A and B are shown apart, each in its own frame.
Chain A
């Protein structure tokens, strides 16, 4: 379903829900400390707690959303595009007036655990409290301890651009009632400590399924099923479940560790919003934590591989010619790429993902491989938006998704046109 279509359905549906639904009761899980501890204390006392908080802030990629382009870190004001409108992130520096300087530990825990701010207003789930609720109280308070050490920045929160009735925060109580399961992560005693740690990181601070999970018409993610791919910021976050074609089925645990730690591996390179996630978040995770994530992700079952219609030869021929002219210099004749430099396109799960939006976005606007401490280069690709028409990009994308043994749904020019427009308008 295209982003525009989903948006079209979601608004009236949510409106209807708001009219029909009264308050739903919900079990309140007392903030029990989790059996899973994240990050080791480097030293006892406040320094250890602050260090752990810093690690968790990175694991949660808090800075990415709470920093505007060119703005002060953690001072908020980054525009978060959602299918419903634009939400501006809040200032989480300890400024007493405009930040969280007056927040108590309990205020902060309530926001992270229940999605309710200091004044008692429900927060929008663009703030990923449906995932952060899984965090242990200790971990949440470590995060607060770290944020308290930041330099306070005075920066007033900008008003969100949401249509009525979504601008009514009270509506979120209804949404929470329907879609939000509050509760700290409960380890699965049948699984190893490593698996549980990975699950905690993925489902809690990492909030991976916020992008990689499918959302319903109301913007809610299915928190129980595996993250089989989803739309995020005009891109498509591919499936993290099994599945050799478009999931992580053919990846080894080491591939996952390398990808999250460096932004690239022998199969692909991070692109779109994930490049930023690697740069700002996952590259800082410890090797044991990355390994735990890999173990957990590799345990996810593969969904049934959906059938894909065959693509006509004319389209493939046109796409092949465009590939030779525009792509082959770096990605090479068989789409094998250059290991370490230019990502392969052959047998790439990202290329064969259920939606081609990330691939189309890269062709339109270009991309750079994340710059990480381990791999500082950040090789970049230029965008082809000015060089290739919508129809050409559709043919090229379809070709790449079906060449060298790849197999994925074809793309049409109208879809490229929609995405080009959406990316152009994207803040």
Chain B
């Protein structure tokens, strides 16, 4: 293949942003996507996308484990086995990536999240941090990322209520958020009956609820690139579906109409990248090798390579390409695969009398409190690190997977139907969404036994919830229950997350780490600009660079980091070389 300036592995959120930024800077960019092309019409058209069985149950728009999967075990004493059905998390395949099927919950992390080790040591002392916890700072600060958060939010048309503009608290917003330069581009979504219930109850308990930031447009919106979005119809089919109404931010609805018109941008679908190639020194990437739809191995030379695949796939590629030192959990040395993290969720189901019409929803329509996220509260008495938000999301009222029944309801038959009839319109659920720290025992490496369709070793995930996270999640769930009990006439059911971690039930697709960023090449794969320490013309995007996970959905931070890195890439293109030397 003829060489290109920049090759992007994957064509989802991060690739679209990088492509848009670098083509503007005048270089030739090629994206290689393992999945298919897809667009709002016809692929997500409103005459067929609201099909829960096809998309949510049969998982039509996700990656297919027959082609690519990973093996899993809870700890190093076990033998890992391949995940043969998607469960706990749902990586995407296809243009737009997971940006097509996310809910649009578009948060910023807290300022302290980026300096969590420094902050924790200062406030609670070094001994507060468990010995096996690989807690580390990001190498970038909230203040540095703020303009890039802003760009991503204005790209997406986020609907929300600012809580802190330039250090001034704004009533109705999240009082704990870091200072932002301006409010959200759009006002919050219309509230649903259930979020109003939550709001009242949370206030009664003494918390400060606010509307969750939503990359679902509350109004028609034209973003700074000139791309037009329509107004959300509250159809309730965001999560695991493509949006048929141009209302949920995705590469298709925010960037591609502009990007695809450019002569210096190209993309190829059904091209599965299996290696990043390096020259004889191992210090310079020469391009990538991919397998096309006919099984041909093709080399694509490039001056610069950017890994834009889903978090664990970026790590898998680095390991297969033998770039960077693989992590060794025994000696706690090496970096690639180190600090895999996840998130921990739980819920409190609420059964009450008021009609809530749950089917009128949107992926990020919710009301939340942030009192117990990050270090917004004194952790001293509790003895754990981290936290999360507590929210009532009204993402939709899909009949199969989005209903809530009392514990004692029959599981099938006439009794089940009766319970459904009695509860569908009135039940709701309060969610907790908690951080997961990084540990020596949580990592990614190559499986010694199992191989994928290309003959490459599968990626192996070794992960379990640690006592710190289970304690934290239990604490959050109790707070959520407190709010639930404040809802008039409510009966509640607390569903605490129990260990060990299981890869079977869906929890969240917020997998992080394995190629983390930082200031020290001994504990990070990429520098603070997301540039590989070992191969300076190789960059890694996405949540695989998170040193540990925070208590928020990651997409807002992924977007901000991508814009941040794109600025650094433009400097690199003018003067190639490592942007950080140690």
User: CB within 8 Å of B: which residues of A?
Assistant: 326, 329-330, 338-342, 366, 368, 371, 373-382, 384, 387
B222 shortest CB reach to chain A, Å: 6
A339 shortest CB reach to chain B, Å: 7
Give B170-197 as 1s and 0s: 1 = Cβ < 8 Å from A's Cβ atoms.
0000000000000000000000000000
Whether the Cβ atoms of A375 and B220 lie closer than 8 Å is no
Whether the Cβ atoms of A374 and B46 lie closer than 8 Å is no
Q: Complex Cα distance A375/B261, Å?
A: 12
Q: Complex Cα distance A382/B245, Å?
A: 11
Residues of A within 8 Å of B46, CB to CB, are 329, 382
Q: Complex Cα distance A328/B235, Å?
A: 12
A325 shortest CB reach to chain B, Å: 10
Using known A-B contacts A329-B245, A379-B246, A382-B41, determine if residue A341 contacts B47 with beta carbons closer than 8 Å: no
Q: Complex Cα distance A366/B41, Å?
A: 9
A108 shortest CB reach to chain B, Å: 30
B137 shortest CB reach to chain A, Å: 40
Whether the Cβ atoms of A330 and B45 lie closer than 8 Å is no
Interface residues of B in 451-492 (CB under 8 A from A): none
Using known A-B contacts A329-B235, A329-B245, A340-B220, determine if residue A380 contacts B40 with beta carbons closer than 8 Å: yes
Is residue B231 contacting chain A, with contact meaning CB distance below 8 A? yes
Whether the Cβ atoms of B257 and A378 lie closer than 8 Å is yes
Whether the Cβ atoms of A376 and B47 lie closer than 8 Å is no
Q: Complex Cα distance A374/B39, Å?
A: 21
User: CB within 8 Å of A: which residues of B?
Assistant: 39-42, 45-47, 220, 222, 225-231, 233, 235, 244-246, 257-258, 261
Give 7 A-B pairs besides A371-B257, A379-B230, A382-B45 with Cβ atoms closer than 8 angstroms. Answer: A329-B46, A341-B220, A368-B41, A375-B228, A376-B225, A376-B226, A377-B228
Residues of A within 8 Å of B257, CB to CB, are 371, 376-378
Q: Complex Cα distance A330/B232, Å?
A: 9
Residues of B within 8 Å of A373, CB to CB, are 261
Residues of B within 8 Å of A382, CB to CB, are 41-42, 45-47, 244
Whether the Cβ atoms of B227 and A376 lie closer than 8 Å is yes
Whether the Cβ atoms of A384 and B47 lie closer than 8 Å is yes
Q: Complex Cα distance A374/B222, Å?
A: 12
Q: Complex Cα distance A380/B46, Å?
A: 11
Residues of B within 8 Å of A381, CB to CB, are 41
| Closest B residue, CB atoms, query A374 | B226
B261 shortest CB reach to chain A, Å: 6
Main secondary structure of the interface of A (DSSP, over half): loop
Q: Complex Cα distance A382/B40, Å?
A: 9
Whether the Cβ atoms of B235 and A338 lie closer than 8 Å is no
Whether the Cβ atoms of A379 and B228 lie closer than 8 Å is yes
Residues of B within 8 Å of A338, CB to CB, are 220, 230-231
Q: Complex Cα distance A339/B227, Å?
A: 13
A335 shortest CB reach to chain B, Å: 15
B258 shortest CB reach to chain A, Å: 5
Residues of B within 8 Å of A384, CB to CB, are 47
Main secondary structure of the interface of B (DSSP, over half): loop
A77 shortest CB reach to chain B, Å: 25
| Closest A residue, CB atoms, query B253 | A377
Using known A-B contacts A330-B230, A341-B228, determine if residue A380 contacts B220 with beta carbons closer than 8 Å: no
28 A-B pairs with C-beta separation under 8 A: A326-B47, A329-B235, A330-B233, A338-B220, A338-B230, A338-B231, A339-B220, A340-B220, A340-B222, A340-B228, A341-B230, A366-B41, A366-B42, A368-B41, A371-B261, A373-B261, A374-B226, A375-B226, A376-B226, A376-B257, A377-B226, A377-B227, A379-B230, A380-B41, A382-B41, A382-B42, A382-B47, A384-B47
| Closest B residue, CB atoms, query A376 | B257
Q: Complex Cα distance A387/B229, Å?
A: 25
Q: Complex Cα distance A378/B260, Å?
A: 12
Whether the Cβ atoms of B245 and A330 lie closer than 8 Å is yes
Q: Complex Cα distance A339/B230, Å?
A: 9
A344 shortest CB reach to chain B, Å: 12
Residues of B within 8 Å of A371, CB to CB, are 257, 261
Q: Complex Cα distance A253/B227, Å?
A: 25
Among A341, A368, A377, the residue within 8 A (CB) of B231 is A341
Residues of A within 8 Å of B220, CB to CB, are 338-341
B217 shortest CB reach to chain A, Å: 9
| Closest A residue, CB atoms, query B225 | A376
B21 shortest CB reach to chain A, Å: 17
Residues of A within 8 Å of B230, CB to CB, are 330, 338, 341-342, 379
B38 shortest CB reach to chain A, Å: 13
Q: Complex Cα distance A342/B245, Å?
A: 10
| Closest A residue, CB atoms, query B39 | A380
Among B40, B227, B233, the residue within 8 A (CB) of A329 is B233
Q: Complex Cα distance A384/B48, Å?
A: 11
Q: Name the residue in B40, B47, B225, B228 with the highest tally of chain A Cβ atoms < 10 Å from its Cβ.
A: B228
Residues of A within 8 Å of B258, CB to CB, are 376
Whether the Cβ atoms of A341 and B229 lie closer than 8 Å is yes
Residues of A within 8 Å of B40, CB to CB, are 379-380
| Closest A residue, CB atoms, query B49 | A382
Q: Complex Cα distance A130/B226, Å?
A: 39
Q: Complex Cα distance A154/B46, Å?
A: 44
| Closest A residue, CB atoms, query B258 | A376
Residues of A within 8 Å of B233, CB to CB, are 329-330
Residues of A within 8 Å of B41, CB to CB, are 366, 368, 380-382
| Closest A residue, CB atoms, query B259 | A376
**7 pairs of A and B residues whose beta carbons are closest in the complex:** A382-B45, A380-B41, A341-B230, A377-B228, A376-B257, A338-B220, A329-B233
Residues of B within 8 Å of A387, CB to CB, are 47
Q: Complex Cα distance A376/B224, Å?
A: 12
B223 shortest CB reach to chain A, Å: 10
Residues of A within 8 Å of B244, CB to CB, are 382
Q: Complex Cα distance A381/B41, Å?
A: 7
B559 shortest CB reach to chain A, Å: 20
| Closest B residue, CB atoms, query A332 | B231
| Closest B residue, CB atoms, query A379 | B246
| Closest A residue, CB atoms, query B244 | A382
Q: Complex Cα distance A379/B253, Å?
A: 9
